[in-house]
Amino acid sequence: MANAIYYVAYKLKKDASVPDFLRAAEKLNNEFISKQRGYVSWQQVVDGDTWADICTFETMEDLENFKVVSKNPSDLAKEFYSFMNLFGCKTHIFSVERNYEKEI
């Protein structure tokens, strides 16, 4: 079955500290997200002032379960969200159709 990707694009608040934001993200990942069933990875990418989170799960069912348990944000999630300007935040769910990787 194909992996599922949760993509979220956003901007940080004007006064947000990037190092503090990244620490909050790491803590959220280590203590919650990475412990969810089917978790594969979380990449944070940035282009100028636009950030995106790319969370990969083994299956679409795993991603849907993650979304359900995330509806009631923990204190860790609230701290992470406190750095973000959620106005204009864009989310999308993708199913991986094909994956190309470097052969070793």
Class of residue 33 by CB neighbours under 10 A (exposed 0-12, middle 13-18, buried 19+): buried
Q: What is the pLDDT of residues 65-79, one digit of tens each?
A: 999 999 999 999 999
Question: ∠ CA(47), CA(7), CA(94), 5° rounding?
Answer: 130
What residues does 52 pair with on adjacent strands? 9, 45
Supply the pLDDT for residue 1. Answer: 64
User: In the chain, which stretches have pLDDT less than 70?
Assistant: 1
Domains of the chain: 4-95 (3.30.70.100)
Closest CA to 10 of 66, 90, 77, 80: 90
